[in-house]
Structure 1
């Protein structure tokens, strides 16, 4: 077993997971509710994260790596919303009978790219994501999307728990405030994922599959 190199906090935290041999891009919940003015989860400046996510997707598509997406959907009446919907009432915007179309994805998946529908924060909880990734031979996830403190964080943690290497791309994620974004990236990088810059992620994705 290879001993990981010490991270910025010494040997206690921030060891490096690195990239495996078969990466995929996972775009989490990047939809109109977050990226358009007036949306129930509207971000203060979503443009840079959307552009960075689009760059990751283009690099993956151009070099034969899988691209996967997540979307939040609830049944009419929110019967499948559980306690999460009670805690975050604005999730009702993603019910199938809700007005506004807030759940529509900001970037368009290509035909054949899986869209994992979820009801909770983690893209792994109660979904087919893990077996889909295993079937594709994926060992590394370049993670983009929203929000850093919520669904990105929960998904990165469960990626690690499920045996995948989470690489959270700093510029491709966003949150309600810069402080939330940066604080959660720091904690993810210490314990659950590698937080990487866009340029480095693009370099890894530009290697042919």
Structure 2
């Protein structure tokens, strides 16, 4: 078996492409993942993704692109699913400072903000309803971790029938191998794996087309 076996069986042959309007989800860039004082915080790939997502969101908000931002937090362990991660059980609490969304990628006056209770930002939240109202058909996934909540959010985005883009350098994980493996697998089946530069170019094209249609 080799990677060519997937290719020979037609995996990844058809690109997702882009539609009429983009929306962005920002998954779990909470201080628990971005502040190194916390047990799960400060992984290099996550910090790279945070910096690149900040650049992406600056352009997106300027152009009026809908943004949904989230953290993961619970009242107590009784409310939680059966997490196998001690740090999640001990710190992902509403009253814990690590639950706050990192201010570098958060605009509470602009973003739809949800607190999710499961890996996917779409599961039992209002994000899909928000995107329906905004007529979004293309979802850009950012955040962490690639092998967990990014994967789950990508599959739910696909399941909601959105065209789904995942910029590789706007998502991150604890280790590089799971990051690469999961993006490769998502790219074979459900999403287009892109990068920050290509995603910014897409937003520029979309904004230019929107501006042209408004002035026609």
Could you state the TM-score of these two structures normalised by the residue count of structure 2? 0.85
CA distance in 1, matches of 2:78, 2:111: 28
Match of 1:108 among 73, 81, 106: 106
> What is the CA deviation profile of residues 164-207 of structure 1, one whole-angstrom value per residue up to 9, with x for unaligned ones?
11101100011011111111110010012111111110011123
> What's 2:54 paired with?
54
Please state how far the C-alpha of 1:10 moved relative to its aligned partner. Answer: 5.2
Classify the secondary structure of the residue corresponding to 1:102: helix
Please state how far the C-alpha of 1:94 moved relative to its aligned partner. Answer: 1.6
Runs of at least 5 residues in structure 2 that lack an aligned partner in the other structure: 1-5, 211-216
> What is the CA deviation profile of residues 105-133 of structure 1, one whole-angstrom value per residue up to 9, with x for unaligned ones?
12222403101210110111111111111
Greater share of helix residues, 1 or 2?
A: 2
Please state how far the C-alpha of 1:32 moved relative to its aligned partner. Answer: 1.1
> What's 1:97 paired with?
95
Classify the secondary structure of the residue corresponding to 2:169: strand
Please state how far the C-alpha of 1:96 moved relative to its aligned partner. Answer: 2.0
> What's 1:4 paired with?
none
Whether the 8 Å contact between 2:67 and 2:110 is mirrored in structure 1 is no
Seen in structure 2, the aligned counterparts of structure 1 residues 94 and 53 have a Cα distance that, compared at 3 Å, is same
CA distance in 2, matches of 1:114, 1:78: 26
Classify the secondary structure of the residue corresponding to 1:56: helix
Match of 1:170 among 157, 168, 171: 168
CA distance in 1, matches of 2:154, 2:171: 12
Count residues in correspondence.
197
Classify the secondary structure of the residue corresponding to 1:179: helix
Please state how far the C-alpha of 1:97 moved relative to its aligned partner. Answer: 3.2
Equivalences for residues 68-147 of structure 1 within 5 A: 68-75=68-75, 77-83=76-82, 85=83, 87-92=84-89, 93-98=91-96, 101-106=97-102, 107-147=105-145
Dislocated runs of 4+, deviation >4 Å: none
Q: Name the Cα RMSD after superposition.
A: 1.7
Could you state the TM-score of these two structures normalised by the residue count of structure 1? 0.88
CA distance in 2, matches of 1:35, 1:9: 36
